C-alpha cells in the first residue's frame, strides 16, 4: 500500500459525521489544554523559581486520575459516554475560567492548584469515556485508523498549538487560562451534536461504583493479553512523566530560555508524530501491534537518552521530534489492543482502571524527579528514565503474549 493510500485511509474516518464531531472537539480542547499547562508551569516558575513546585503543574493534572481514575470509567459507563463528556466540559470551563479572577485578586498559588485538581477530576471521567465511545462511532475495520487520526490531529495541534500557546502565555500571563475555558465550551457544543443512542443513565452509588471499578480491574487481570500489556506499559511509561515534568525545568533553567522555547520543545515532540499517525493504518496491516508496542518503547527510550545528553537546545529539539514518532507507535497500538479485546459495556471501566494504574505509578515519579531536579541535573534524570524504558522493551520482546498480539 502506498503512503498516499495510507493517508486517505486515515482521513477517511472523518466522513463519519459522529466521529468527525468527536475529533473536532478533541482538536479544539487539546489546544486549550496546552495553553493551561504552559500558563500553570510559567506562573509557578515565576512565583517560586523551584523545580519541585513547577513539576507540581504536571503532578496536579495527573493526581486525580490516580485517585479517582478507577471510578471515572465506571461513572462514564453509568451516565453514558457522551453525556459524561459534555458535563465534564461544562464543569471544566467554569473552573479554569475562574483562575485568572483569583490570581487578579491576589489569591495564593495553592488555590489555583485546587481548581486545576478539581478540573482534572472531570478529566478522569472524560478521558475513558472518549476512548470507550470511539468503537461505537466508526466501523470495526476503521478502528485503528480512527485512533491514529485522533493521535495525529492531537500532535498537529501541538506543532502549531504549542508555539502559539507559548506566545499566548508570554503575552497574556494568567489571562491565558480564559482561552482553555473557551475551548471546553466549544467542545461541549460539538459533542452535543453527536447523534448516538445511549442507554438510560443508571443510578450512581459508591457501592455500585466500587463494584463497577473492580469489574474493570478484574477484566484486565483475567485477560492474558491485556494483563501483560498493562504490566509492560506501566513500567515502560515511567519515563513519560519524567520528560513531561522536567521539560519546563530543562528549558527554563538548564537552557536559560522562556515559554516561547518551551512551546518549540513541545511542538518538536509533535512533528514526527503527525506523519506517523497518518501512516499507522498501513503499518498495522504489515506488523503485529504487539511488535509495534515493543519497538515504540525501545525507540522512545533511546530518544530520551539522546535528549538527556544533547549538547545544545537545537539538538534536543531534533530528538524531541524523534521521540514524537516513537510515542505514536506504542500509544495508538496500546489503545487499539485494549479496545479490540474489551466488550463495549466494560470499555470505560477498563480504560479508567488502566489510566488510574498508570497515574498511580506516575505520581511518585513526578514528585521524586521534581525534588531530585532541585539537587542535580534534569538532563541526567531524563537520560536515566530513557534507559529504564529501553531495558523494559527488551524484556517485553521475550514474552510471546506481548510480542505476538496481531
Read off the pTM.
Answer: 0.70
Please report the pLDDT score of residue 8 as a whole number: 38
CA distance 191 to 249: 36
Whether 315 shows a pLDDT value over 80: the answer reads: yes
Question: Which domain range does residue 239 map to?
Answer: 3-403
Q: What are 181-211's pLDDT values in tens digits?
A: 998 999 999 999 998 777 777 777 778 877 8
**73-109 as b/e, with b when 16 or more CB fall inside 10 Å?**
bbbbbbbbbbbbbbbbbebbbebbbbbbebbeeeeee
pLDDT band at 77 (very low <50, low <70, confident <90, very high): confident
Cα distances from 120 to residues 27, 95, 300, 397, in angstroms, run 18, 10, 26, 35
Please give the tally of structural domains in the chain.
Answer: 1
Please report the pLDDT score of residue 5 as a whole number: 38
CA distance 24 to 149: 11
pLDDT band at 393 (very low <50, low <70, confident <90, very high): very high
Whether 7 shows a pLDDT value over 50: the answer reads: no
Cβ-count burial of 347 within 10 angstroms (0-12 exposed, 13-18 middle, 19+ buried)?
Answer: buried
pLDDT band at 60 (very low <50, low <70, confident <90, very high): confident
Whether 106 shows a pLDDT value over 70: the answer reads: yes
Please report the pLDDT score of residue 302 as a whole number: 96
Q: What are 207-235's pLDDT values in tens digits?
A: 887 787 788 888 899 889 999 999 999 99
Please report the pLDDT score of residue 187 as a whole number: 94
DSSP conformation class of 45: H
CA distance 280 to 219: 27
Whether 3 shows a pLDDT value over 50: the answer reads: no
Q: What are 270-279's pLDDT values in tens digits?
A: 776 666 666 6
Q: What are 228-248's pLDDT values in tens digits?
A: 999 999 999 999 989 988 998
Please report the pLDDT score of residue 86 as a whole number: 93
Q: Residue 392 has which C-alpha cell?
A: 523494559
Higher pLDDT, 65 or 238: 238
Mean pLDDT of the chain: 83
Whether 2 shows a pLDDT value over 50: the answer reads: no
CATH number where 393 lies: 1.20.1250.20
Whether 1 shows a pLDDT value over 60: the answer reads: no
CA distance 151 to 147: 6
Amino acid at each position: 500500500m502506498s503512503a498516499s493510500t495510507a493517508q486517505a485511509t486515515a482521513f477517511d474516518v472523518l466522513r463519519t459525521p459522529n466521529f468527525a464531531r468527536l475529533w473536532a472537539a478533541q482538536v479544539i480542547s487539546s489546544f486549550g489544554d496546552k495553553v493551561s499547562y504552559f500558563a500553570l508551569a510559567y506562573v509557578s516558575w515565576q512565583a517560586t523559581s523551584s523545580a519541585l513546585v513547577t513539576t507540581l503543574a504536571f503532578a496536579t493534572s495527573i493526581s486525580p486520575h490516580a485517585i479517582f481514575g478507577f471510578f471515572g470509567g465506571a461513572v462514564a459507563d453509568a451516565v453514558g459516554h457522551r453525556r459524561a463528556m459534555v458535563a465534564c466540559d461544562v464543569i471544566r470551563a467554569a473552573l479554569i475560567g475562574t483562575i485568572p479572577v483569583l490570581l487578579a485578586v491576589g489569591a495564593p498559588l495553592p488555590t489555583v492548584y485546587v481548581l486545576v485538581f478539581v478540573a482534572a477530576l472531570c478529566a478522569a471521567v472524560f478521558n475513558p469515556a472518549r476512548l470507550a465511545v470511539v468503537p461505537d462511532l466508526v466501523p470495526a475495520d476503521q478502528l485503528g485508523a480512527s485512533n491514529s487520526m485522533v493521535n495525529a490531529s492531537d500532535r498537529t495541534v501541538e506543532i502549531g498549538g504549542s508555539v502559539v500557546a507559548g506566545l499566548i502565555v508570554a503575552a497574556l500571563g494568567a489571562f491565558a487560562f480564559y482561552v482553555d475555558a473557551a475551548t471546553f465550551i466549544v467542545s461541549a457544543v460539538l459533542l452535543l451534536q453527536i447523534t448516538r443512542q445511549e442507554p438510560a443513565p443508571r443510578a450512581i452509588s459508591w457501592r455500585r461504583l466500587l463494584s463497577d471499578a473492580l469489574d474493570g480491574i478484574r477484566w484486565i487481570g483475567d485477560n492474558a493479553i491485556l494483563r501483560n500489556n498493562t504490566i509492560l506499559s506501566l513500567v515502560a511509561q515511567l519515563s513519560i512523566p519524567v520528560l513531561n515534568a522536567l521539560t519546563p525545568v530543562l528549558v527554563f533553567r538548564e537552557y536559560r530560555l522562556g515559554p516561547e522555547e518551551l512551546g518549540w520543545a513541545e511542538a518538536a515532540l509533535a512533528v514526527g508524530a503527525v506523519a506517523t499517525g497518518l501512516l499507522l493504518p498501513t503499518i498495522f496491516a504489515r506488523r503485529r501491534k504487539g511488535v509495534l508496542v515493543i519497538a515504540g518503547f525501545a525507540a522512545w527510550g533511546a530518544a530520551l537518552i539522546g535528549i538527556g545528553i544533547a549538547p545544545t537546545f537545537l539538538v534536543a529539539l531534533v530528538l524531541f521530534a524523534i521521540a514524537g514518532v516513537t510515542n505514536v507507535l506504542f500509544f495508538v497500538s496500546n489503545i487499539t489492543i485494549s479496545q479490540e479485546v474489551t466488550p463495549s459495556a466494560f470499555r470505560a471501566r477498563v480504560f479508567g482502571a488502566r489510566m488510574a494504574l498508570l497515574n498511580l505509578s506516575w505520581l511518585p515519579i513526578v514528585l521524586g524527579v521534581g525534588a531530585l531536579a532541585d539537587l542535580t541535573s534534569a538532563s541526567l534524570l531524563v537520560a536515566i528514565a530513557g534507559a529504564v524504558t529501553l531495558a523494559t522493551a527488551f524484556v517485553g520482546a521475550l514474552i510471546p503474549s506481548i510480542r505476538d498480539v496481531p
